[in-house]
Amino acid sequence: MPLVCLTDFREHAREHLSKSTWDFIEGGADDCCTRDENMAAFKKIRLRPRYLKDVSKVDMRTTIQGAEISAPICIAPTGFHRLAWPDGEMSTARAAQAASICYITSTYASCSLEDIVAAAPRGLRWFQLYVHPNRQINKQMIQKVESLGFKALVITVDVPKVGNRRNDITNQVDLMKKLLLKDLGSPEMGNVMPYFQMSPIDPSICWEDLSWFQSMTRLPIILKGILTKEDAELAVKHNVHGIIVSNHGGRQLDEVPASIDALTEVVAAVKGKVEVYLDGGIRTGNDVLKALALGAKCVFVGRPILWGLAYKGEHGVKEVLDILKNEFHTSMTLTGKQVSGINEVTIKQCS
């Protein structure tokens, strides 16, 4: 039977991936309250459709940081794609290029950046950076991604320490080594393992350090992990180019707001001075429309991309993206929305 929604891809991945890989992908922090609330919060929002509007031509295109994408649905940074499919991030990059959307490549990619770029040389790609304690290593990485044609630097701010992920502890998974050696360390993998050396993350990084990064690159700097008005205002003050409202898929601090619940506060705080994006909990085209209605420029999708990879690699990711895009087109049409990127759809919060 064909897989017709993202839930179908999730179930297929759960049935076919090893337990340790599934737990690593799906796990959240502590009781997983935030992970689950990311999705549940969308269901508390109702759309208010407008009819007798000409929707014979619906245009999903938008721009992010000046680059056009085919729809406001892009790929969030997640690590270790080879856990789900042998070609890993190369397959993900090819699917993103074919869909004409942005793919944020993770610091913890399981393929070399050179191989990822070679797999999809025309793709729009941003790079997600976990800040290393050694400034020279950060400098070298930034220079490398800039030379490889990445178009933005996404600095993750919500991991001064890895969250308390019980599934990984239960499975006796050391995020630095054990999962990778168990799932990926076969002799025939050749020289893949050097790309899996997870580096330490600097817990001392603070707002004043952003000027150093800005001096290192001409790339626009996006902060990923902002959830509050106060931090959004500081981001604008420090001249960043964008914010991804995110709680790390519920994998860091549990019992923080769902991303969609934090979005309005952040959008109001930046007053249109920087672009605001969202990740966390996107599972349907309606979810995409709700995020845009609340002020997001586009959304980024994480776990469902890995489910697609586990299904059929590049083609599975393409199917996931196609489903989301088709659902979003339907949502736009049935709410009377002709153009993506204009948050004119009215919504209602359920009590």
Helix (H) or strand (E) holding 95: helix 88-99
295 is in an annotated binding site: no
In the residue annotation, 248 being an active-site residue is answered as: yes
Amino acid letter, residue 248: H
106 is in an annotated binding site: yes
Q: Is 21 annotated as a binding residue?
A: no
- CA end-to-end span of the chain: 38
Residue 53 annotated as binding?
no
224 marked as binding residue? yes
CB neighbour list of residue 215: distance below 8 Å, 6 or more residues apart: none
Q: How many Å apart are CA 11 and CA 220, to the nearest integer? A: 37
Contact present, 273 and 243 (Cβ < 8 Å): no
225 annotated as belonging to a binding site for a ligand: no
Dist CA 103 CA 311 (whole Å): 19
Per annotation, catalytic residue among 81, 132, 241, 248: 248
The reply to whether 246 sits in an annotated binding site is yes
Q: Check the annotation: does 172 bind a ligand.
A: no
Q: Does the annotation flag 285 for ligand binding? A: no
Write the single-letter amino acid at 10.
Answer: R
Residue 280, annotated as binding a ligand: yes
302 is in an annotated binding site: yes
Check the annotation: does 170 bind a ligand: no
Q: What are phi and psi of 153, to 5 degrees?
A: -110, 120
Find out whether 34 and 258 touch, Cβ atoms under 8 Å. yes
Partners of 277 in the β-ladder: 244
User: Known binder of ligand: residue 264?
Assistant: no
Q: Is 143 annotated as a binding residue?
A: no
Distances (CA, A) of 128 to 115, 136, 150: 17, 17, 10
Instruction: Count CB neighbours of 100 within 10 A.
Output: 15
Q: Is the dihedral of CA 131, 297, 44, 58 positive or negative?
A: negative
Residues making up the annotated binding site for FMN are: 77-79, 106, 128, 130, 156, 224, 246, 279-283, 302-303
Residues making up the annotated binding site are: 77-79, 106, 128, 130, 156, 165, 224, 246, 248, 251, 279-283, 302-303
Residues making up the annotated binding site for glyoxylate are: 165, 248, 251
Q: Show which residues are catalytic.
A: 248
